[in-house]
Copies of this chain bind each other. A is one copy, B any other.
């Protein structure tokens, strides 16, 4: 079956919100989609009759197995396109989200199959998030935030959970990107802020709020 752009956006947003909370609320989804709660209720009834969500009035909702499969496929398309935009077209990693948001709705299955081959089966997108495979399997990547990391070990930045333009702007300022190698040199217990050292650049201090959003793995 084929879904409209609007339906796909709802499915994708429910999926993303579910990563944080098992059940999604009308307000949070309206907020995520920059729409009104009433519109969310309308669309949810539709997705319910199409057997994509479990939905109980006033009780919140979540994707069922079917809806989940579709969501993961949209995520797959989105992340493959992001990889293409950065690694083939030379976009900066903080400029590709919007464009991938449009490209992900192009429906050809053959297109994505061939794109995957052309890109040589990438495992993660430019933000470090895993790209689901054809069967919807998502490689698990152990996620440790900078706030949790042991001091003085060299680590590689693997992903960033908050991808707002403001956050990405700031990361650029600190010279932090996916794959950046850095070292945590100090923890300040007073406010949870962290001193880090990115190779070649002087040490700098980032707030706990930021540190919590930067995930790394040991190299």
Contacts and interface: CB of A to CB of B under 8 A. Distances in A.
Nearest to A89: B114
8 contacts: A88-B118, A89-B111, A89-B114, A89-B118, A91-B114, A98-B108, A102-B106, A106-B106
Q: Per DSSP, are chain A's interface residues mostly helix, strand or loop, or mixed?
A: helix
A90 B117 CA distance: 10
A91 B99 CA distance: 23
| Total copies of this chain within the assembly | 2
Contacts of A107: 102
Given A90-B114, A91-B114, 10 more contacts: A89-B115, A89-B117, A89-B118, A91-B110, A98-B108, A99-B108, A99-B111, A102-B108, A103-B103, A106-B106
Contact of A106 (B89, B103, B117): B103
Interface residues of A, number: 19
A107 B105 CA distance: 13
Nearest to A5: B5
A152 to B, nearest CB: 41
Contacts of A108: 98-99, 102
Contacts of A95: 110
A25 to B, nearest CB: 32
A80 to B, nearest CB: 12
8 smallest beta-carbon distances between A and B, as pairs: A89-B114, A102-B106, A99-B108, A89-B118, A99-B111, A103-B106, A88-B118, A90-B114
Contacts of A118: 88-90
Contacts of A110: 91, 95, 99
Contacts of A103: 103, 106
